[in-house]
Amino acid sequence: MFEFDFSEILDMYELLMTLLYWIIMLVIAGVCMAIFEKFTPYNDKEELLKGNTAVGVQFAGKLIGLGIITESSIAHNLSVWGASIWIFIGFILMVAGYFLFEWVTPFKAEDEIRKNNVAVAIVAASVSIFIGFAVAGSIT
């Protein structure tokens, strides 16, 4: 009465490719976030462990922005290597946007975030997310 072939839902090749993408993208995200941390004048991990909400908000914005770029890179490239290259291009644009945001604000955003100024962190996170969407939209 109700029959289906499980291979029509999921085949081993798709599963293996998903695992490959998952592993490589997690490594790339880890590398990108470690590089991002080098650009901040404070230690993200230490601030997070101290409960600095502003650092958490900013860190989350960077992860979300990078995640948006990652999704679009995977969706619009035929290989894991093409996707990886586009993620790094998007990451470079996020770093450039980070410096541009810091340059155009009338205060030192990083100092405010270190002082747990959540309002500034929300704007900084929004900039990262905006850049993620802008880069993702341009990947074809």
In a domain, 42, yes or no: yes
* pLDDT for position 39: 83
Over residues 71-111, the pLDDT tens digits come to 999 999 989 999 999 999 999 999 999 899 999 999 999 99
Rounded to two decimals, what is the model's pTM? 0.85
Domain count, the chain: 1
Is 4 among the domain residues? no
Confidence (pLDDT) at 4: 66
Whether residue 33 is contained in a domain is answered as yes
Contact 57, 120 (CB under 8 A): no
Q: Which domain holds residue 28?
A: 12-138
- The residue-averaged pLDDT of 113-139 equals 95
Residue 18 belongs to a domain: yes
Give domain status of residue 7, yes or no.
Answer: no
d(CA 90, CA 12): 31
> How confident is the model at residue 37, as a pLDDT?
87
CA distance 37 to 33: 6
